[in-house]
Chain A
Amino acid sequence: MSNPEDRNPGGDRDWSVVVEDGIAKTNDPVSSAVAEPAAATRRHELHEPAREELPQRLYEKREFVHNKRIDGPFRRFKWLVMVVTLAIYYVTPWIRWDRGPYAPDQAVLVDLANRRFYMFGIEIWPHEFYFVAGLLIMAGIGLFLVTSAVGRAWCGYACPQTVWTDLFQHIDRFVDGDRNARRRLDNAPWTWGKVLRRGFKWSIYLLVGLATGGAWILYFADAPTLFRDFFSGAADPIAYATVAILTLTTVTLGGFMREQVCIYMCPWPRIQTAMLDEKSLIVTYKDWRGEPRGSIKKAQKNPGQFGDCIDCQQCIQVCPTGIDIREGPQIGCITCALCIDACDRVMKDIGRPRGLIDYATLEDCEREAAGGEPKAPWRTLLRPRTIAYFLIWGGIGGALLFALGVRSHTELTVAPDRNPPFMLLSDGSVRNSYTLKLRNMESRPRDMEIAIEGLPGAVMWTDTIRASDAAATQTVTVPADLVRQVRAYVAVPEGARSQEFTFRVTSLDEQRETDTVETRFDAPED
């Protein structure tokens, strides 16, 4: 249909602006990266000339981010979170928790070899893995909750990638100086001084990576023992391999890739776009107040013509992902709020009110732009969506706690022998054999009573209790934290008939936990 020769059907008319229903629409070619939101959805009208194809380059060359030092309330908060999260990560494996002589005394331990997961007072067995699944679901919904309330707070403060990137950026600053010095050094030729400096810096990177990977393995074995073994060369090869891999990933992801991970690799920023709405707190540049930008001199010459933004670019220079927040909400913004610190400082210096860049909802921005008052913070946080997320989150948490509270530490499974299904004894009685599994989830050995219910006259003995001691109930000792397998022989005097009956196991301690399993007694059919 379209003829390339005939691209301008309107003759001399200027098609760069199309007026339709009294609204001027731009017809400029747009790239989706810089376009206004409307551009992506606006229909291309038939009478309009074909849009020019932009020579889009899908590959953007990376420019290494050298963020400038800044101090302010948000930076201090970021320091605090960093210290707290790193402390949690490094200290947790060393916390001791007394579980008696039969269980490890490490507070948090993922014991893969013995298939036990310890977390302070909670011990989880593989068959209870739904607790872990529940925790993961809670973590997921928790992220939804945080996002709908305060935007990408996770990305900005608590995400390991953010924390470690921050750490590595501080190392850069410590070794090479601040932003300008680092940029100069990057562009400088490779002199011996630069080689030494880089070698020193990358050695620190390696140490940080080693400490990161090294702490990780401590969660999977007794920390003090593993720590000693690790340095004496006696630890398992898998420990060294894990540390090597994690050191490599830490140095690569935190030391070199940094914001590229957030922008290109992480799925979370993509999910964000669906999670954020106009009521979410995000870091926003208040363009209605800042535009048009102009230096202080220009503003003094032409009072009233320029906004508050003096285009000093401090917000770009302090940004750890190197974006310009004044372009609006974007995928690169992890809402760490360092630009707020930077802008507030500048505003204070030039005597203008703070908050040109600020935590605000898009809704509040519109209201403020129209001259209204912004909502109180608690009203931005408390709204149906956040409350609903919180209730779901809390509900799952409550259900998990409930399940944890009422779970039994005693369990029984029964497998009747199928070959042969029954056995005639010389006195005419009929014997069936069962494999019982008695689970003791307490970290101490427990006596358990096995009883037969609903099978008149039946007696029982086991692989360790002689047939001469047969009785309707037997007591066995189950070792701490283990499943004991018991072969049980149940005999019913002459005249036995096939029927259902129940095994009941009861712990002989103050808890008196009990579990029952219904099974079948088989007898010859005459």
Chain B
Amino acid sequence: MANKRIDQPTGTETVGHEWDGIEELNTPLPRWWLWTFYLTIVFAIGYVVAYPAWPMIDKATEGMLGWSSRGQLAEEMSVADQARATFREQLARIPVERLPENSALMQQAVAGGAAAFRVNCVQCHGSGAAGSHELGYPNLNDDDWLWGGDLKAIEYTLVHGIRQTSDDDTRTSVMPTFAGAFDTQQLNDVVDHVLSLSGKAQSNPVGGQLYADNCAACHGAGGQGDRAQGVPRLNDAIWLRGNSREAIKRQILNPRMGVMPKWEGRLDPVTIKMLAAYVHSLGGGEDLVEVAEDPEVEVDEQP
């Protein structure tokens, strides 16, 4: 370590090493840098004491403050839940048909319903709620409703589902199988008559008679359907399973009928209400014809 000397041009001491004539000046660190460095050491000691730091065998040291990222997350989640609590309480107390009167609550319900829809409903109804012709999932944006399109009816469908054997109150309807009931000509005549109800074909007397005998009991003489029984309208432009002659024939001979899960017990009533509000808001929602009696408003005695 000998050979330290003062470098003439700079007036600085060298470190004493030499590599092929190259020497290094012993320039001290700037004071501010050094003190900042010491400060970081002090900070690090404090940090190690206060926060989880050293990894041990199965977990890290816990730190004096008892902080953990999981704990922080739980805290933030509970804060968020707290913030939603009043809204959910309000929503739990109001019957769904009275929701439109409270537009702020309605807006929140629609927003919440949109989120729940994306989790629970898009698998069949699609992310745009447009359903599917091929698979027979109904479009929820339009104004054609098999079981009714007001808030109460939508909520009922959500709660009890469609064709659910486990629920006595489920919505059920059956289209009989007509395979073998008509010969080819008769089938064509019936299809003609069905299409004529929405002006897409010419009716003929044979078809009309066959329709009156076999179909009108449920679908109505003019094909207007019946929501009480979930019978589809035949005189409109919307066909759940397609409006081609082939599709109609198939549905007469060997009808397919979809199911919808019951959400009671799988989703809480508030979420179901929000889903009803969201589906209603998609553009085809109908007004409730009769508004229920004033509900017995529970007095909230909890703080």
Contacts and interface: CB of A to CB of B under 8 A. Distances in A.
B9 A53 contact: yes
Contacts of A387: none
A426 B141 contact: no
Contacts of A487: 283
Interface stretch (B48-56, B75-83, B233-241, B260-268): B233-241
A425 B128 contact: no
A466 interface: yes
A466 B128 CA distance: 21
B283 A433 contact: yes
B209 interface: no
B139 interface: yes
Nearest to B110: A463
B281 A419 contact: no
B120 interface: no
Nearest to A419: B128
Nearest to A494: B237
Contacts of A467: 143
B142 A426 contact: yes
B292 to A, nearest CB: 20
Interface string B103-143: 00000000000000000000000111110000000010111
A426 B127 contact: no
Taking chain A's interface residues, is the majority helix, strand, or loop, or is none over half, making it mixed? loop
B237 A489 contact: no
Contacts of B169: none
Nearest to B141: A423
Contact of A419 (B127, B144, B238): B127
Interface string A381-425: 000000000000000000000000000000000000111100111
B23 interface: no
Interface of B is mostly: loop
B287 interface: yes
Contacts of A433: 141, 283
A507 B208 CA distance: 55
A426 B138 CA distance: 13
A55 interface: yes
Interface string A413-445: 000011110011111110101000000000000
Given A419-B127, A424-B238, A425-B238, A466 B287 contact: yes
Contacts of B287: 466
Interface string B128-162: 11100000000101111000000000000000000
Contacts of A426: 142-144, 233, 236-238
Interface in B1-29: 9, 11
Nearest to A426: B236
A423 B237 contact: no
B92 to A, nearest CB: 24
Contacts of A466: 287
Interface string A55-66: 100000000000
A136 to B, nearest CB: 32
| Residue among A419, A424, A466, A467 with most chain B CB within 10 A | A424
A55 B129 CA distance: 81
Given A433-B283, A466-B287, A427 B141 contact: no
Contacts of A489: 283
Contacts of A431: 141-142, 283
Given A53-B9, A428-B237, A463-B281, A423 B130 contact: yes
Contact of B142 (A55, A418, A424, A463): A424
Contacts of B141: 420, 423, 431, 433
A418 B238 CA distance: 20
A205 B20 CA distance: 55
A356 to B, nearest CB: 40
A419 B281 CA distance: 15
- Residue among B11, B143, B233, B236 with most chain A CB within 10 A: B143
A425 B143 contact: yes
B9 A423 contact: no
B236 A427 contact: yes
Interface in B215-239: 233, 236-238
Contacts of A428: 198, 236-237
Contact of A423 (B127, B139, B281): B139
A463 B281 CA distance: 7
B65 to A, nearest CB: 20
Interface in B251-302: 281, 283, 287
Contacts of B198: 428
Nearest to A417: B128
B139 A425 contact: no
Given A419-B130, A431-B283, A433-B283, A424 B9 contact: no
A508 B127 CA distance: 37
A466 B130 CA distance: 21
A423 B283 contact: yes
A475 to B, nearest CB: 18
Interface of B: 9, 11, 126-130, 139, 141-144, 198, 233, 236-238, 281, 283, 287
10 contacts: A55-B11, A419-B130, A420-B126, A423-B130, A423-B283, A425-B142, A426-B236, A427-B236, A428-B236, A489-B283
Q: What 9 A-B pairs have minimum CB-CB distances, sorted nearest first? A: A419-B128, A426-B236, A420-B130, A428-B237, A426-B144, A420-B128, A423-B141, A426-B238, A489-B283
Given A420-B129, A433-B141, 19 more contacts: A53-B9, A419-B126, A419-B128, A420-B128, A420-B130, A423-B130, A423-B283, A424-B142, A424-B237, A425-B144, A425-B237, A425-B238, A426-B142, A426-B144, A426-B233, A426-B236, A426-B238, A427-B236, A427-B237
